[in-house]
């Protein structure tokens, strides 16, 4: 098993942050197996989706509609509506697993691996990559 960790600076705005290049570089010389990507945060998750062409904003708008940033949430520390951030893992879990063949991610043509972070109170995220040989 091989493992690595890196930091993503997400700033103070909700967003999607493309992790595909970091994941690709990690597995490039590792052969066949499985890449497990994990974010150890209660208010962030991972998605595999097409990035670009408006998809990022579509996803963020959908999250805002499903999880409004208002005072309905029982979890109330931090910025207004922060309780919604703690429900994000329901929609985007903090892990993703991608098959690797010949040192290459087997993502579809338009698929990317992205960190979804709606929490404006935490501008730094950790991502752990683990490769299991197959």
CATH of domain 2-133: 2.60.120.460
Handedness of CA 81, 60, 20, 92 (dihedral sign): positive
Residue positions counted in the chain: 134
CA distance 36 to 128: 8
CA distance 119 to 11: 9
Backbone angles phi, psi at 24, to 5 degrees: -65, -45
- Render pLDDT for 14-27 as a digit per residue (tens, 0 to 9): 999 999 999 999 99
**CB count, 10 Å around CB of 3?**
12
Q: What's the pLDDT at 119?
A: 92
50 Cβ contact partners less than 8 Å away, ≥ 6 residues apart: 110, 111, 112
Domain boundaries, the chain: 2-133
Q: Are 117 and 10 in contact (CB under 8 A)?
A: yes
- Render pLDDT for 65-123 as a digit per residue (tens, 0 to 9): 999 999 898 888 888 888 999 999 999 999 999 999 999 999 999 999 999 999 989 89
Reported as a pLDDT band with limits 50, 70 and 90, residue 12 is: confident
Q: What's the pLDDT at 76?
A: 82
Cα separation values, 128 from 3, 40, 55, 73, 97, Å = 7, 8, 25, 29, 12
CA distance 39 to 84: 18
Q: What is the mean pLDDT of residues 49-58?
A: 94
Cα dihedral 4, 15, 88, 6 in deg (nearest 10): 10
């Amino acid at each position: 098993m091989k493992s690595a960790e890196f930091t993503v600076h997400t700033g103070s705005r909700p967003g999607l942050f493309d992790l595909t290049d970091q994941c690709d570089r990690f597995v490039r010389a590792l052969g066949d197996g499985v890449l497990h990507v994990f974010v150890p945060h209660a208010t962030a998750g991972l998605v595999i989706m097409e990035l670009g062409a408006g998809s990022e904003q579509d996803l963020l708008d959908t999250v805002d509609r499903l999880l409004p940033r208002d005072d309905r949430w029982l979890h109330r520390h931090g910025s207004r509506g922060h309780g919604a951030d703690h429900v994000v893992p329901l929609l985007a879990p903090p892990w993703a697993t991608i098959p690797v063949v010949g040192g290459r991610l087997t993502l579809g043509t338009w698929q990317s691996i992205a960190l979804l972070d709606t929490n404006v109170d935490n501008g730094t995220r950790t991502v752990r990559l683990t490769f299991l040989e197959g």
